[in-house]
Homo-oligomer: A and B are copies of this chain.
């Protein structure tokens, strides 16, 4: 056997349940014993794979980072070939996460980011990496949109805005127990994008003015996730 296998089935089950519980109740509020019970594992097994609770947290975050591509980004790209539509397909992914969980689960990394702050430096570095990968991909789409957005537009800044809207929208949805605040924030972002697109289309002033006021939300139809990595047996939401 390979030493300290990274692919142990028990290890995966522990990570999956820990991820779910950290997501639902937070890191501090989740007891090791609960994870053990839900995963059907004894404490010795857990401590065989993870030296302590913090190492388990690191493992969970590494798992989130590994799952970002197949479960979040690729489905968004599969939903549309249009780079701007991909942005809103991505936001639709999180909307689904809210809906299937009754507004109790949004972005799993966002929760931990606010709870842990800088008290676990290794964890913070991973969360930062996660956000960087997220905004980096969005930035790539915005660059790909090319002449459909104003040339001078700062794509990096806009990608940071998109992430902020997602995380802030999820937070409001959790507090409200409803997706409405999330939808409102996303709809307004959509309106902003339409406005930017109108510019790039070099429309006359009157058409631009009309676009500035609009704020309706066009639902994005779901597409089959475009899986490239082997994610069989992995659950995310």
Contacts and interface: CB of A to CB of B under 8 A. Distances in A.
Contact of A118 (B103, B127, B128): B103
Q: So how many copies of this chain end up in the complex?
A: 2
Contacts of A116: 26
Interface string A193-231: 001100100111100110011110000000000000000
A205 B174 CA distance: 41
Given A25-B119, A213-B153, A114 B171 contact: yes
A128 B131 CA distance: 26
Contacts of A202: 205, 209
Interface of A: 24-29, 102-104, 106, 110-111, 113-119, 124, 127-128, 130-131, 150-154, 156-158, 160-161, 163-169, 171-172, 174-177, 181, 184-185, 187-189, 191-192, 195-196, 199, 202-205, 208-209, 212-215
